[in-house]
Amino acid sequence: MTRSSRPRRRLPPAQRRRQLIEAAVELYGRRPLSVDDITEAADVSRALFYRYFANPAELFATASRSAIDGLVGRLTAPREGTPDEQLRAGLTEFLDFVAERPAAYVAVIRNSSAISAETGGLVNEVRDAVIAMIKQRASLPDTPMLDLTLWCWTAVTEEATLRWLNRGEPDQAELVTWLIGQLYAMVTATLKIVS
Amino acid sequence: MTRSSRPRRRLPPAQRRRQLIEAAVELYGRRPLSVDDITEAADVSRALFYRYFANPAELFATASRSAIDGLVGRLTAPREGTPDEQLRAGLTEFLDFVAERPAAYVAVIRNSSAISAETGGLVNEVRDAVIAMIKQRASLPDTPMLDLTLWCWTAVTEEATLRWLNRGEPDQAELVTWLIGQLYAMVTATLKIVS
């Protein structure tokens, strides 16, 4: 049903196999879900879909935007207390936020770049905002290795959060304490190399 | 073209919108590429596809299996030298491996669970093997928090590797030194909490 009308070159089997794999790997990096996929799953008509969204990418951008709506603002809001207390309050707020919508969080984190450039962009937006806030509040130097370190700590936070949602342990307060300890340890190790 | 024959309930717009979003989020967690997607991209017939693979999930399992073929064996091979030297050799080998096939690495890491349970499983297989090796060689205790820490360090390694492929910096030796420093720092911070 998708035969092209151009004649195809004959290729040796190994090369053919390779070609199929390459085409698929390439596609996975950028494919959006089709409207049919979504209307079938939701058991609605295509016409109905188009009354709400122009295309699946817009649906995901909207869903993700609304899911993290306010999150960045809440995470980066001015806070009272020592840096440690501020970090604890921010992380607790983040985990509360995630615990309220675990399925959406898992889908966005696990598949952010597979869904669309928009959702990948939103995850990065949260990461960047958190990194900028930490650098500013802790008066950290602006070096590529420190940026890498903070970037990786946001990945640690996401991975640990997925595991926490999945396993129900450690308890939330313990996870927050651990994440703060990891941040200090990671940054300290990098500052030792950089300076 | 995908209208169902069952009558549909009338839903208020906000609920309808929510329903579409939920169906799509749910799908993204588990959808495979279709054969048409791949044959169109590769410009081959469906018949040709089926001479090579039973389905797209099999194609990805095969591609990923062959891509990481031997990687676990190479990473966990017995090595000479101090633990630090062994870690350095292992990480250097890993980065060499990745640098030889950057597009495939990016696709597998970025989309592992979106592609199929199989490729998600393969990424976890590499992580688990590396974690077991580190625990054994460093005689680390078997606690959930330490497992979490090592798991997150493998995520740090993946994130830092993606950034390294993308930006071309720091240089490979510097990245290896940094990753070792991060591992020691993360584990030490966790052992302080656990004990």
Q: Is B180 on the interface with A (CB under 8 A)?
A: no
The band of A186, judged by pLDDT with boundaries at 50, 70 and 90, is very high
Kindly report which listed range (A20-29, A56-65, B184-193) carries the lowest average pLDDT score. Answer: A20-29
The band of A109, judged by pLDDT with boundaries at 50, 70 and 90, is confident
Q: What pLDDT is stored for residue A114 in this prediction?
A: 47
Q: What pLDDT is stored for residue A93 in this prediction?
A: 92
Task: Tell me the two tokens of residue B66.
Answer: 């062959």
Of the candidates A13, A29, A107, the beta carbon closest to that of B28 is on A107
* Residue numbers in B near A186 (CB within 8 A): 156, 182, 185-186
Task: Report how far residue A20's alpha carbon sits from residue A55's, in angstroms, rounded to the nearest whole number.
Answer: 27
Q: What pLDDT is stored for residue B3 in this prediction?
A: 44
List the one residue out of A157, A172, A153 whose CA is nearest residue A99: A172
Q: Is B49 on the interface with A (CB under 8 A)?
A: yes
pTM: 0.75
Q: Which of B5, B27, B109 to mutate to test the interface with A (most CBs of A within 10 A)?
A: B27
Is A150's pLDDT higher than 80? yes
Of the candidates A13, A16, A144, the beta carbon closest to that of B169 is on A144
Task: Report how far residue A167's alpha carbon sits from residue A161's, in angstroms, rounded to the nearest whole number.
Answer: 10
Per-residue pLDDT of chain B (195 residues), as tens digits, is: 444 445 556 777 766 766 666 666 555 444 556 788 778 777 778 888 888 888 877 776 666 676 676 788 888 888 889 888 999 999 999 999 889 877 767 767 765 544 444 556 778 888 999 999 999 888 898 999 999 999 999 999 999 999 999 999 999 999 999 999 999 999 999 999 876
Q: Which of A27-36, A60-69, B86-95 has the highest mean pLDDT?
A: B86-95
Q: What pLDDT is stored for residue B17 in this prediction?
A: 67
Q: What pLDDT is stored for residue B73 in this prediction?
A: 82
Of the candidates B26, B46, B63, the beta carbon closest to that of A2 is on B46
Cβ pairs A/B, distance under 8 A: 217
DSSP string, B17-77: HHHHHHHHHHHHTTPPPPHHHHHHHHT--HHHHHHH-SSHHHHHHHHHHHHSTTHHHHHTS
Of the candidates A16, A107, A182, the beta carbon closest to that of B29 is on A107
Q: What is the mean pLDDT of residues A73-77?
A: 83
Q: Is B182 on the interface with A (CB under 8 A)?
A: yes
Q: What pLDDT is stored for residue A72 in this prediction?
A: 83
Chain-chain contact of A111 with B115 (C-beta, under 8 angstroms)? no
